[in-house]
Amino acid sequence: MSEFSPCLDCGACCSTFRVSFYWGESDSAPGGVVPDRLIEQVTPHMSCMQGTNQPQPRCVALMGDVGSAVRCSIYENRSSTCREFPFHGENGLESPDCQRARALHGLPPLPSNPRGPGQAPPVAA
């Protein structure tokens, strides 16, 4: 996560999408790190975070209130899907899915460069 992170008081994407990934990322597989107890199987080769495969998704690993203070309880062991999901403006890139998730939870859109015109955009750590 970058030094500037709108995610710490958001969490909307963790409560909007099915968070799926290759089953081999589970800690029940060699080299996997995502806790298997928090995963459910989606297809023979894909798993997802429990709680995200339902009409009103919310990842079981998400702590706190969406749009307020939130924390991922498995941050160091989250899946590649989570690691690679950019917030809008991260590295100067657009992230329509981030903006859509925020809008669905009544949160304002993020600016494309939260540091302001002429400043370098935040980068992922």
Binding residues (CB under 6 A) for ligand SF4: these are: 6-7, 10-14, 19, 49, 59, 61-62, 72, 74, 78, 82, 85, 87, 98, 101-102
Q: How far is the CB of 33 from ligand SF4 (least distance, A)?
A: 11
Neighbouring residues of 118: CB distance < 8 A, sequence distance ≥ 6 = none
With H, G, I as helix, E, B as strand and everything else as coil, classify residue 91. Answer: helix
What's the min distance (Å) between Cβ of 44 and ligand SF4? 22
Query: What's the alpha-carbon Rg for the chain, to the nearest Å?
Result: 15
Nearer to ligand SF4, 30 or 96 (CB): 96
- Cβ of residue 49: shortest distance to ligand SF4, in angstroms? 5
Nearer to ligand SF4, 6 or 32 (CB): 6
Helix (H, G, I), strand (E, B) or coil at 80: helix
CB nearer ligand SF4, residue 47 or residue 61: 61
Residue 124: CB partners within 8 Å, gap ≥ 6?
A: 1, 2, 86, 90, 91
